[in-house]
Amino acid sequence: MTRYIVQRLLLLPALMLVYSFVIFVIIQAPPGDFLTSYVATLASSGSSISPEQIQALRHEYGLDQPFFVQYLLWLQNILSGNLGLSLEYQRPNADLIGEQLALTMALALMSFVITWAIAIPAGIYSATHQRSVIDHILTVINYIGVATPNFMLALILMWLAFAYFDVSLTGLFSPDYADAPWSLARVSDLLKHLWLPALVLAIAGTARLTRIMRANLLDELNKPYVTTARAKGMAEWRVVLRYPVRLAFNPLVSTIGWYLPALFSGSLIVATVMNLPNIGPLLLRSLINQDMYLAGGILLIYSFLTIVGTLLSDILLAALDPRIKMES
């Protein structure tokens, strides 16, 4: 087990290296470089910059170097913790990302909790009351939940709230707290705003998880050990919760690691629609404005989270089910 974990951990930097290269290729792909858009930004705001200054800047940022040298420079900067300067915001990228990373994580974690809190009981109920009215209703809700793109759901909720209750559901803070320093009051204000986007984000995952839980549990409920437990006179709810539920759980727990990164990625669209302070909208803006090093930094963080997530789920799976061979 330890050997397996160490092996995987050793592989992590190698993977990150591959991704960093792929990401660099992608962010370099659009025509022009970061100074072309900088000059365009300056021109649109009315000021100008002399060709000599551009040349000097190009040299300073290493933009006159060949592609691989630029990549190595970028990599070197990242390794020393320098993600570069955002062109649009004129601030270090690390600061920009750092500010919103915590809120991004909070959103993902909250919708994760909501998903499990709803899906597991719903799945258990559906499986133990197969073909009951509620089971059918849950199935219908699940199908619709999977079929609705989450930005649609966000749009519909925001529109209903705006049109019928005159409430604006955008942002994560009330105006009073938007720029206030952290305090207990601010945290409670955050929680008041966080649950709705978290719920929107959780719906599709909840639907999927409920279906998996239901199917897994149905498989287990037909096994002889359940009959044995019943025959021994155990209370029905104890029979179910004690044995089959635990077994039905295993495959789900092992996917936690995949689920969290998927939430980070998924929150990108919902956060854009609902105007949340999240690294998703930041990425989108940076891609549209060709703020390349900011985009590169955010993409690296997404990749890192995804790899760590995959690693976690593999380890969890191996720990939960010793029958899985680690070496193969």
Partner 1 sequence: MAGTQTSAAAVGAGVEDRIAVASNWTLVWWRFRRHHLAMFSAAVLIFLYLIVICPDFFSVQDPERTDARQAFIPVQSLHLFDDGGLAPWVPAIAGKRNTVTLRMEWTKDPQRRVPVRFFARGFEYRLLGLFPASIHILAPVDPAQRIFLLGSDRLGRDQWSRIMYATRTSMTVGLVAVTLSVILGVVLGGISGYVGGKTDQVIQRLIELLQSVATIPIWLALSAALPRDWTPIQVFFAITVILSLVGWTTLGREVRGRFLALREEDFVLAARLAGCSRMRIILRHMVPTFLSHIIATSSLAIPVMIINETSLSFLGLGIRPPAISWGVLLQEAQNIQTLALAPWLLIPGGLVIVAVLAFNLVGDGLRDASDPYSH
With contacts defined by CB under 8 A, name the span among 81-89, 107-115, 144-152, 234-242 that binds partner 1: 144-152
Q: Which residues contact 174 (CB under 8 A, 6 or more apart)?
A: 189, 192, 193
Site map (CB under 8 A) of partner 1, residues 27-66, x = contact = x-xxx-----------------------------------
Q: Which residues contact 84 (CB under 8 A, 6 or more apart)?
A: 74, 77, 92, 93, 293, 294, 296, 297
With contacts defined by CB under 8 A, name the span among 43-51, 129-137, 234-242, 261-269 that binds partner 1: 261-269
With contacts defined by CB under 8 A, name the span among 72-80, 89-97, 100-108, 287-295 that binds partner 1: 287-295
Residue selected from 54, 75, 196, 287 as contacting partner 1 according to rule CB under 8 A? 287
Burial of 46 (0-12, 13-18, 19+ CB in 10 A): exposed
Number of residues lying near partner 1 (CB under 8 A): 46
User: What sign has the CA pseudo-torsion 70, 75, 81, 86?
Assistant: positive
How far, rounded to the nearest angstrom, does the alpha carbon of residue 227 sit from its chain's CA centroid? 41
With contacts defined by CB under 8 A, name the span among 35-43, 53-61, 220-228, 300-308 that binds partner 1: 300-308
CB of 45 to partner 1, least distance (A): 22
Copy the structure tokens of residue 88: 């649009």
158 binds partner 1 (CB under 8 A): yes
Q: Which residues contact 86 (CB under 8 A, 6 or more apart)?
A: 92, 93, 96, 286, 291, 293, 294
Cβ atoms of 278 and 100 closer than 8 Å: yes
CB of 178 to partner 1, least distance (A): 18
User: What sign has the CA pseudo-torsion 230, 235, 237, 239?
Assistant: negative
Report which residue type is found at 119: A
Copy the structure tokens of residue 36: 């072309």
Residue selected from 94, 96, 239, 268 as contacting partner 1 according to rule CB under 8 A? 268
Site of interaction with partner 1 (CB under 8 A): 15, 18-19, 23, 26-27, 29-31, 143-144, 146-149, 151-152, 155-156, 158-159, 162-163, 168, 170, 261, 264-266, 268-269, 272-273, 283-284, 287-288, 295, 298-299, 302-303, 305-307, 310
